[in-house]
Amino acid sequence: ENIYTIPNAITFARICASPVIGYYISAHQYPLALSLLAVAAVSDGLDGFIARRFNMKTHFGTVLDPAADKILMTVLTISLCDAGLLSFPLAALIIGRDVGLVLGTMVYRYTTLPAPKTWSRYWDVSLPSAEVHPPLISKANTLLQLVLMYGTLAAPVYGVPIDHVALELLRASVVGTTIASGAMYLFDRSLVKKL
């Protein structure tokens, strides 16, 4: 397939922007980081819209887009923790769940890949071997994490105390949904279907 499409280019640009956003957060340049994060959020919706509207969907894009989201979320989590805006235990929980999901996905990919199981076939995204159906709690968790990251980054820009009750409630919600969604992926085998 032709992977050189506009949606894939937008997604790749979001990946490249992630460390830049992280750098500005760690450097305490919050207004600039917040602006770049807003652009990244718009690009996330734009690449999907273009892919659907102009029939530019690719297998590569279906892997690249969620990978870009995870990279951005990981960079935000680490840099906000580094800047003292996000607690280490919460950052470790968010990243730990994602690392667990990635490792689980890699193992499942290997076990469901049809023979011959070679290194090149393993990484060939045009050979799908399984399909993941995220549960509603996982989608809610992703949304709450994004809102938390944006809100945490926006707080110093708009002079909102980092221990504001709304942010505390948001952090508690993220803790609950992160644990619940991780547990569902761990124990509910119906979420992953072999192709």
The Cα–Cα gap between 68 and 40 comes to 10
150 part of a folded domain: yes
195 part of a folded domain: no
Q: Which residue has the tokens 């124990």?
A: 187
What is the arithmetic mean of pLDDT over 34-63? 92
What are the tokens at 22?
A: 């992280």
151 part of a folded domain: yes
Residue among 149, 146, 178, 30 nearest 78 (CA): 149
Higher pLDDT, 64 or 174: 174
What is the arithmetic mean of pLDDT over 52-65? 89
Residue 190's pLDDT is what? 86
Range from 48-52, 118-122, 169-173, 186-190 that averages highest in pLDDT: 169-173
Higher pLDDT, 112 or 180: 180
Higher pLDDT, 187 or 23: 23
Mean pLDDT of the chain: 92
CA 48 to chain CA mean position, Å: 15
132 part of a folded domain: yes
193 pLDDT tier (thresholds 50, 70, 90): confident
Residue 147's pLDDT is what? 95
- What's the CATH number where 119 sits? 1.20.120
171 part of a folded domain: yes
What are the tokens at 1?
A: 């397939």
Instruction: Indicate the number of domains in the chain.
Output: 1
**Domain range for residue 98?**
6-187
The Cα–Cα gap between 8 and 160 comes to 36
pLDDT by residue (tens digit) across 83-138? 999 999 999 999 999 999 889 888 888 988 888 999 999 988 778 777 778 899 99
Output the DSSP codes for 109-146: HHHHSPSS--HHHHT-TTS--EEE---HHHHHHHHHHH
pLDDT by residue (tens digit) across 138-162? 989 989 999 999 999 999 999 999 9
192 part of a folded domain: no
Using a pLDDT cut of 70, give the percent of the chain over it.
100
194 part of a folded domain: no
15 part of a folded domain: yes
Residue 70 clears pLDDT 80, i.e. is over it = yes
The set of residues, in sequence order, having a beta carbon less than 8 Å from that of 89 and lying 6+ positions away, is none
Residue 105's pLDDT is what? 85
The Cα–Cα gap between 27 and 61 comes to 32
Residue among 113, 141, 128 nearest 60 (CA): 128
